[in-house]
Structure 1
Amino acid sequence: MTEPSIEYADVLVVGGGPVGLITALQLARNLPQASFTVKIIEKYPKSSQDQYGRAITLFPRSSEMLDQLGLAEALAQQCFACRETVNYDRHGKEFPGRGWSFMENMKDTKWDFALVLRQKYQEEIFRQALKSEGVELEAPWELKSVEVLEDVDQGGHRVIAGILHPETGVKRVVKCRYLIGADGGRSSVRRLMDIPFDGSSSEDQWVRVDGVIETDLPKPRTYCAIESPTHGNVLWAALDHGATRIGYAFTPERRKAYEVFDEEAAVKEAIASVKPFSLKFKQVDWWTVYVVGQRIARNFFSKDCVFLAGDACHTHSSGAAQGMNTGMHDAVNLGWKLSLVLQGLANPDLLHTYEAERLPNVQRLINYDKDISRLMTMQLPESWQGDPNADVNEVLGQVMAEAATFSSGLGIYYESDTYLNVVQSVSHSVIQPGQRAPDVTLQKPATFEATRLQTVTPNIARFYIVLFAGNVALTKEYLSAFTESIPQSHWLVDSKMPVSWISIFDGPGGPSAYETLSGMPCGRVFYDGDHSAHERYGVRADKGAVLVLRPDGWVGTVAELGSGGKAALERYFQRIFVFDAGLKL
Structure 2
Amino acid sequence: MGSTNQSFRHLDVLIVGGGPVGLVTAFQLAKFGHANSIAIIEKHPKSTQDQYGRAITLYPRSTEILDQLDLADDLAQECFACRSTVSYDKDGNEVQGRGWYFMENMKDTQWDFALVLRQKYQEEIFRQRLKAFGVSLEAPVELTDIEIAESMPANGYRVTATVEDGLTGEISTIKCKYLIGADGGRSFVRQKLEIPFEGNTTEDKWVRIDGIVECDMPKTRVYGAIESPTHGNVLWAALDHGATRIGFAYTAERQKGYKEFNEAAAVAEAIQSVKPFNLKFKQVDWYTVYSVGQRIAKSFFTSDCVLLAGDACHTHSSGAAQGMNTGMHDSVNLGWKLSMVLKKLAPPLLLHTYESERLPNVQKLINYDKDISRLMTMRLPIGWKGDPAADPNEILGVVMEEASTFTSGLSIAYEENAINIKGSFSSGTVKSQVVAGQRGPDVELQKPGTREITRLHKQTPNVAKFHLIVFAGEPEYTSKSLHAFTAAVEHSSLFSRTGLPVAWITIPAVSGPSAVEVLGVMPLGKVLYDEKHTAHQRYSIDVKHGAVVVLRPDGWAGTITTLGAEAVDELTEYFSAILSIAE
Q: TM-score, normalised by structure 1?
A: 0.97
Describe the superposition over 1:376-408 as per-residue Cα deviations: whole angstroms up to 9, x where unpaired.
011111121111111101110110000000000
| Aligned residue in 1 for 2:25 | 23
- SS for the counterpart of 1:304 is coil
* 1:493, distance to aligned residue in structure 2 (A): 4.8
Aligned residue type for 1:139: A
Asked if structure 1 preserves the Cα contact closer than 8 Å seen for 2:69 and 2:461, the reply is: yes
Shift in Å at residue 469 of structure 1? 0.6
Deviation at 1:51, TM superposition (A): 0.3
- Contact 2:371/2:381 (<8 A) preserved: yes
Q: Between 63-72 and 488-497, report the one with greater CA deviation.
A: 488-497
Distance 2:163 2:562 in 1: 53
- Report the alpha carbon displacement of residue 194 of structure 1 after superposing the two structures with TM: 0.8
Residue 343 of structure 1: CA displacement? 0.1
Q: Which residue is 1:71 aligned to?
A: 71
Q: CA deviation at 1:19?
A: 0.1
d(CA) in 1 for partners of 2:496 and 2:122? 37
Residue 83 of structure 1 and its aligned partner are, at CA, apart by 0.2
Match of 2:247 in 1: 247
Tell me the CA shift for residue 483 of structure 1.
1.7
Partner SS state of residue 554, structure 2: coil
Matches within 5 A, 1:97-112: 97-112=97-112
| 2:472 maps to which of 457, 469, 477 | 469
Q: State how far apart, in whole Å, the 2-side matches of 1:522 and 1:333 are.
A: 27
Instruction: Give deviations 1:239-271, integer Å, cap 9, x for gaps.
Output: 000000000000000011111111000000000
User: Quick check: 2:59–2:114 contact (8 Å CA) kept in 1?
Assistant: yes
1:580 is displaced (CA, Å) by 2.1
Alignment partners' CA distance in 1, 2:240 and 2:498: 43
Tell me, yes or no, if structure 1 residue 501 matches structure 2 residue 500.
no
Find the counterpart in structure 2 of residue 424 from structure 1. 423
Aligned to 1:379: 379
Whole-angstrom distance in 1 between the partners of 2:514 and 2:498? 25
1:15-55 CA-partner distances (Å, limit 9, x unpaired): 0000000001101111255xx50100000001011100000
Q: CA deviation at 1:484?
A: 1.7
Q: Name 1:152's counterpart in structure 2.
A: 152
Write the deviation string for residues 104-151 of structure 1: whole angstroms up to 9, x where unpaired.
Answer: 000101100000000000000000010001110000011110000012
Between 1:517-526 and 1:463-472, the stretch displaced more is 517-526
Instruction: Judge which range, 324-333 or 257-266, deviates more.
Output: 257-266
Q: Aligned partner of 1:107: which letter?
A: K
- Which aligned pairs between 1:105-504 and structure 2 lie closer than 5 A? 105-417=105-417, 419-428=418-427, 430-487=433-490, 490-504=493-507
Answer with 306-315 or 562-571: which moved more: 562-571
Q: Deviations over 1:76-99 (max 9, x none)?
A: 000000000000011100111000
SS at structure 2 position matched to 1:485: helix
Identity among equivalent positions (%) equals 63
What is the CA distance between 1:517 and its match in structure 2? 2.5
Give a deviation string over 1:255-298, Cα, whole Å, max 9, x none.
11111111000000000000000100000000000000100000
SS at match of 1:358: helix
Q: Quote the RMSD (CA, aligned, Å).
A: 1.2
Mapped to 2, the partners of 1:289 and 1:449 lie a distance apart of 50
| SS across alignment from 1:253 | helix
SS in 1 for 2:504: strand
Partner residue, 1:549: 551
Partner AA of 1:389 in structure 2: A
Contact 2:190 2:308 (8 Å CA) reproduced: yes
1:32-111 equivalent positions in 2, closer than 5 A: 32-33=34-35, 36-111=36-111
Q: Secondary structure at the match of 2:168?
A: coil
Q: What amino acid does structure 1 have at the position aligned with 2:509?
A: D
Alpha-carbon distance in 1 for matches of 2:392, 2:237: 21
Q: Distance in 1 between matches of 2:558 and 2:209?
A: 43
Which amino acid counterpart does residue 113 of structure 1 have in structure 2? F
Contact 1:309 1:330 in 2 (8 A): yes
CA deviation after TM superposition for structure 1 residue 425, in Å: 4.2
Please state how far the C-alpha of 1:220 moved relative to its aligned partner.
0.2
Q: In the aligned structure 2, how far is the partner of 1:104 from the partner of 1:364?
A: 23
Shift of 1:530: 1.1
Q: Matches of 1:458 and 1:496 in 2, distance apart? A: 18
Q: How many residues align?
A: 575
Assess if the C-alpha contact under 8 Å between 1:482 and 1:522 holds in 2: no
**Aligned-partner Cα distance in 2 for 1:493–1:69:** 27
3-state SS of the aligned residue for 2:321?
Answer: coil
Report the alpha carbon displacement of residue 443 of structure 1 after superposing the two structures with TM.
0.6
Moved more, 494-503 or 192-201: 494-503
Distance, in Å, in 1 between the alignment partners of 2:6 and 2:187 is: 23
Amino acid at match of 2:547: A
Distance across 2 between alignment mates of 1:481 and 1:516: 16
Partner residue, 1:573: 575
In structure 1, what is the Cα distance between the partners aligned to 2:424 and 2:563?
Answer: 13
Letter in 2 for 1:209: I
Shift of 1:373: 0.3
Distance 1:198 1:461 in 2: 33
Whether 1:563 and 2:570 are equivalent positions in the alignment is no
Give the secondary structure class of the aligned counterpart of 2:381: coil
Q: State how far apart, in whole Å, the 1-side matches of 2:52 and 2:68 are.
A: 27
Is the 8 Å Cα contact of residues 481 and 566 (structure 1) preserved in structure 2? Answer: no
**Cα distance change, pair 32–307 in 1 and its aligned pair in 2 (3 A):** closer
Classify the secondary structure of the residue corresponding to 1:161.
strand
CA contact (8 A) 2:508 2:519 kept: no
Partners of 1:519 and 1:79 lie apart in 2 by: 45
- Secondary structure of the corresponding residue to residue 43 of structure 1: coil
Kindly provide the CA deviation profile for residues 489-525 of structure 1, in whole angstroms up to 9, marking residues without a partner as x.
7422534110011100002x21112122332011111
Deviation at 1:416, TM superposition (A): 1.8
SS, match of residue 130 in structure 1: helix
CA 40–290 in structure 1, closer or farther in 2 if over 3 Å, else same: same
Shift of 1:4: 7.8
Q: Output one character per residue of 1:44-74: Cα deviation in whole Å (capped at 9) or x when no partner.
A: 0010111000000000001101100001111
For residues 503 and 185 of structure 1, the distance between their equivalents in structure 2, rounded to whole angstroms, comes to 45
Q: TM-score, normalised by structure 2?
A: 0.97
